[in-house]
């Protein structure tokens, strides 16, 4: 069937995950793409659109995305404008009425917790990535070419692997899911065995008895293991 517009980034991520110098989780590549897109949008002209400013004022950003925005802004004006209205919203929310809300500060503490737990970019990325998972399952169900592409993946990070199973179980019938799970599990089983062997060899290389032995694939095994557990793009081998 003809490739639909919303499946293009999924196919590209599954291609790119195994075609570069390093191997990546395809959903980490999608997440990276979504983050770049959201940062470009929020630091571009759309940051002045009223509906977006209302949302960013209300939700704010997590530390990771505040740092990312700071890194990407040259003269910092875009970020300063976002902060100006967000600070005003936070001040209004916490100190509403200009009086002490209660003697124990419990209401104020709850508002602070609510503020600390929201991020405009994280929410947008989470929604978009959920659509990517849905569409990935659709591709698995309908396209043999994609199933082959799926089978050729090197690994999925643990966090995205868990989400893959959830979306697959919800979007496939029992027979389809059984095959989907079998393939995904074999990919993970093979990779984690290889990764464990590489990390073990890394440890052995610090024993003088193995000093003259080659490193094989162990030199970058530590960052690869961290990426496997936590997600993100892999380092180059």
Distance CA(160)–CA(212), nearest Å, equals: 38
The residue range of the domain holding 48 is 5-230
Angle between helices 63-72 and 120-142 (to 10 degrees): 100
CA angle 39, 70, 234 (to 5 degrees): 65
Q: Which residue bears the tokens 């630091």? A: 43
Three-state DSSP class for 1? coil
Q: Are 120 and 56 in contact (CB under 8 A)?
A: yes
Q: How far is it, in rounded angstroms, from Cα 110 to Cα 132?
A: 33
Q: 10, 25, 5, 228: which is closest to 134 by C-alpha?
A: 10
In a domain, 137, yes or no: yes
Whether 17 maps to a domain, the answer reads yes
Distance CA 8, CA 31 (A): 14
> Which helix (DSSP H) or strand (DSSP E) does residue 227 occupy?
helix 221-230
Please tell me the predicted confidence (pLDDT) of residue 210: 94
Alpha-carbon gap, residue 203 to 200, rounded angstroms: 5
In a domain, 177, yes or no: yes
Q: How many domains does the chain have?
A: 1
What pLDDT is attached to residue 106? 77
In a domain, 108, yes or no: yes
d(CA 181, CA 176): 9
- 146/139 Cα distance (integer angstroms): 6
Report yes or no on 236 lying in a domain.
Answer: no
Asked whether the beta carbons of 187 and 180 are under 8 A apart, the reply is: no
CA-to-CA distance for 89 and 54, rounded, in angstroms? 9
133, containing H or E segment: helix 120-142
Looking at residue 1, its pLDDT comes to 41
Over its length of 237 residues, how does the chain's per-residue pLDDT go in tens digits?
434 667 999 999 999 999 977 789 999 999 999 999 999 999 988 777 889 999 999 899 999 999 999 998 876 888 999 999 999 988 888 877 555 555 677 777 777 777 777 899 999 999 999 999 999 999 999 999 999 999 999 999 999 999 999 999 999 999 999 999 999 999 999 999 999 999 999 999 999 999 999 999 999 999 999 999 999 877 554
Contact by Cβ (8 Å): 217, 154: no
Give residue 2's pLDDT: 39
Structural domain includes residue 237? no
Residue with tokens 């997440």: 31
User: Cα–Cα distance between 84 and 5 in angstroms, integer?
Assistant: 37
Residue 235 lies in a domain: no
> Which 3 state secondary structure label does DSSP give 154?
coil
């Amino acid at each position: 069937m003809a490739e639909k517009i919303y499946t293009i980034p999924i196919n590209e991520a599954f291609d790119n995950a195994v075609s570069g110098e390093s191997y990546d989780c395809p959903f980490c590549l999608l997440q990276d793409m979504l983050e770049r897109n959201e940062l470009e949008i929020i630091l571009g002209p759309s940051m002045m659109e009223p509906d977006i400013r209302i949302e960013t004022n209300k939700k704010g950003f997590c530390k990771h995305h505040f740092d990312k925005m700071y890194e990407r802004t040259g003269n910092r004006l875009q970020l300063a404008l976002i902060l100006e209205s967000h600070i005003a919203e936070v001040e209004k929310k916490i100190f509403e009425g200009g009086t002490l809300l209660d003697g124990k500060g419990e209401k104020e503490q709850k508002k602070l917790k609510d503020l600390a737990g929201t991020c405009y970019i994280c929410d947008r990325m989470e929604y978009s990535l959920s659509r990517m998972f849905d569409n990935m399952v659709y591709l698995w169900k309908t396209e043999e070419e994609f199933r082959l592409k799926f089978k050729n993946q090197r690994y999925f990070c643990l966090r995205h692997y868990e989400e893959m199973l959830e979306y697959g179980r919800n979007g496939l019938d029992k027979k389809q899911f059984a095959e989907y799970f079998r393939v995904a599990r074999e990919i993970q089983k093979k990779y984690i065995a290889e990764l464990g062997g590489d990390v073990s060899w890394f440890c052995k290389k610090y024993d003088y008895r193995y000093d003259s032995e080659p490193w094989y694939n162990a030199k970058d095994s530590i960052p690869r293991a961290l990426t496997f557990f936590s997600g993100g793009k892999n380092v180059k081998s």
